[in-house]
Amino acid sequence: MKVIKPFIVIGTLFILSTAVLGGCKLFTPVTSQNTTIESNSKNSTGISQSNRDIILQNDYTSDKRNLLLKEDIVFLTEQLTKKHKNPYHNITKKEFESNVHSIMNQVDTKDNSAIFVELQKLVASIGDAHTTINTWDGYTYPMDFYYLDGGIYVINADTNLADIIFSKVSRINGTDINEIIPKLSALIPSENEQWKLYNLPGYLKSPGYLLGLGLIPDEHSTVFDFETGDDHGTIITARINTLSYGESPNYYLTYDTDRNVYFYDYSNEDYYWYNLLEEDKTLYFKYNVCTNMEPMNFQEFNKKMWQSTVSKKVSKIIIDLRNNTGGNSTVINPFLKSLNNFIKEYPDTSVYVIIGRETFSSGLMAVLDLKKTVPGAVLIGESTGGSPNSYGEVKHFNLPNSQLPVTYSVKYFKLTEDDAKTIQPDIVLKPDIQDFKLNKDVIIDYLLNQN
């Protein structure tokens, strides 16, 4: 088995990774029976049958199923338009209602996957990354994807798919990937293109969306074409079998705890951690989640970090927020205070903040707070997936029959005077597929070479 330590943590679907925002269990697929049912009916045998069960039978010739789904669509529409802070900021009321009418007309002739995809589009049309509906059914491909260099690449896969790692996806079930990307992107709630790029690999990994879009005939196995990028223009065609909910790939690339990659520790999934790189006179602070962690809360962690830093003659501070999708925006406050005091005492210290497509919500707020604390801090990486002026403070509800969970925003946050949809870095620096192959972090390499 080839062993490597990948330098970017690949997030799962946004609907999964931000479940905490709404307080609902979005890790459970819609096919799961572990859900509270609000009403029941009886089938022909007299056995009690939940409304959810009827919908999951996926029989569009069933009048009962169709009625229940239509009730859910009406409920979804009424709740979102009534409870969201501004449901028509990105789409007109007339357009939204027309889309709802179109979905209602499709219920009697299309299966669940097609209807659920239409609901994804409807919710995404609101243009708020915090307003979501989870229709994921639990099936996944045993591959991890990443969007770079204008395409979708495989960056890890099951051991029996080792030959396709670092190859580029060219076709799925005979359809060009460039036709698939915009169709999948239309399902992703977002405020800018960067957030779509971050979430696109997760949507591609879930065959239920491809099925609902009519791009594959079933979600149990799919034919992919991959461009290897070798000198011969080799194309690998492979039928990929999917995994069910709860199954995990036996990944070919695994964490290597023996290699001395000092600025990452992937054996540790901490929300925050740091490394003092004494030879480089650098403090590297990785801030992944804006949440306190046990057994050391952030305030205690921050105190320990700065006590260690002061005696080491640090001349450079790197704050890595590229994988921070949010949490509680006040958690970072002790760090901001300590950083401010440190810069006052050591004004020649260089401060760099790494940002990227995954920097979102409270992670994005942390970027703005850092710039206020140290106006001279240099932003480096990619533009953020979050918007500085956006909707948030998330609430949730479940559709009454299917029990699909929905999140929505009740406040608008304007954090900058302009109408920017993203925060741009001062220095744009992105990895390419060769960096993945070489396990090279181009941003860290660049920063450690700065005087």
pLDDT tens digits along 105-151: 999 999 999 999 999 999 999 999 999 999 999 999 999 999 998 99
Q: CB–CB of 289/18 below 8 Å?
A: no
- Give the whole-angstrom CA distance, residue 173 versus residue 431: 29
Three-state secondary-structure class, residue 409? strand
Cα 207 versus chain centre, distance:
17
What is the structure's pLDDT at 451?
Answer: 79
Three-state secondary-structure class, residue 230? coil
Banded pLDDT at 29 (limits 50, 70, 90):
low
Report the candidate in 285, 362, 372 with the shortest Cα–Cα distance to residue 337: 372
Q: How far is CA 6 from each of CA 110, 111, 288, rounded to the nearest angstrom? A: 41, 39, 16
Q: Which region among 25-39, 214-228, 345-359, 407-421 has the lowest average model confidence (pLDDT)? A: 25-39
Query: Which residues touch 204 (CB under 8 Å, ≥6 apart)?
Result: 141, 145, 152, 169, 180, 184, 210
- Give the whole-angstrom CA distance, residue 90 versus residue 111: 28
Helix H or strand E encompassing 179: helix 177-185
- pLDDT surpassing 50 at residue 226: yes
Task: Report the predicted TM-score, pTM, of the whole model to 2 decimal places.
Answer: 0.88
| Max CA pair span of the chain | 79
Q: CB–CB of 191/141 below 8 Å?
A: no
What is the percentage of the chain residues whose pLDDT exceeds 70? 86
What is the structure's pLDDT at 118?
Answer: 99
Locate 255 and state its tokens.
Answer: 């964490």
Banded pLDDT at 315 (limits 50, 70, 90):
very high
What is the structure's pLDDT at 98?
Answer: 99
Higher pLDDT, 70 or 20: 70
**Residue 400: cis peptide before it, omega within 30 degrees of 0:** no
β-bridge mates for residue 226, sequence order: 169, 236
**Angle subtended at Cα 280 by Cα 276 and Cα 281, rounded to the nearest 5 degrees:** 60
Q: Please report how many Cα atoms fall inside a 13 Å half-sphere around the Cα of residue 48, on the Cβ side.
A: 5
Banded pLDDT at 28 (limits 50, 70, 90):
low
What is the structure's pLDDT at 311?
Answer: 85
Give the type of residue at 235: I
Residues 132-166, buried b or exposed e (16+ Cβ, 10 A)? bbbbbbbbbbbbbbbbbeebbbbbbbbeebeebbb
Q: Is 230 exposed, middle or buried (0-12, 13-18, 19+ CB in 10 A)?
A: exposed
Q: CB–CB of 245/230 below 8 Å?
A: no
- pLDDT surpassing 50 at residue 271: yes
Bridge pairing between strands 427-428 and 350-355:
unpaired
- Give the whole-angstrom CA distance, residue 59 versus residue 47: 18
- Give the whole-angstrom CA distance, residue 204 versus residue 98: 28
Q: Is 252 exposed, middle or buried (0-12, 13-18, 19+ CB in 10 A)?
A: buried
* N- to C-terminal Cα separation, the chain: 39
Helix H or strand E encompassing 301: helix 298-310
Banded pLDDT at 49 (limits 50, 70, 90):
low
Banded pLDDT at 38 (limits 50, 70, 90):
very low
Please give the average per-residue pLDDT across 352-358, as a whole number.
Answer: 98
Ramachandran region, residue 355 (left: φ > 0; alpha: ψ -120 to 50; beta: rest): beta
What is the structure's pLDDT at 171?
Answer: 99
Q: State the DSSP code for 356.
A: -
Cα 43 versus chain centre, distance:
40
- Give the whole-angstrom CA distance, residue 131 versus residue 391: 9
Three-state secondary-structure class, residue 155? strand
Cα 212 versus chain centre, distance:
20
**Residue 207: cis peptide before it, omega within 30 degrees of 0:** no
